[in-house]
Amino acid sequence: MHLKHTLKLVWFMIEYTTTHTGLDICDPIPERIQADRRLISASHGDIHLDKQEVIGRVLDVIKSFPNDDPSKVTPDVHFQKDLGLDSLDNVEIVMALEEEFKLEIPDKEADKIDSCHLAVKYIHNHPMAG
């Protein structure tokens, strides 16, 4: 009975969509709807950024930070030990990462991010990172 109810609901949604939007179920999905679908999938943890992309973008953010030497920035660099940055610099890097990846990192988690490795790990595992 549950499957029958689900199928009826799906059929109703198809009929409603084709009647009220003018779309045919055989038409290509408009880009706006595809983008919304990707966002919904991402919010459910189905889509993650590629780890290499995350590494590259994290490194770019850190290299662009004015208080460090870009030649020292590697995927394993520690912000304080290797780059000589202080805790305020660390906060600014995390804020720049939040902006780059369009996400909000809670203070409790942000305090733990003190290296490229941990930044990459957090962002790669975050379902809303974009």
Catalytic residue numbers?
Answer: 86
The DSSP secondary structure of the chain, one letter per residue, reads -HHHHHHHHHHHHHHHHHHHH---TTSPPPHHHHHHHHHHHHHTT-----HHHHHHHHHHHHHT-TTS-GGG--TT-BTTTTT---HHHHHHHHHHHHHHHT----HHHHTT--BHHHHHHHHHH-TT--
Looking at the chain, how many residues does it have?
130
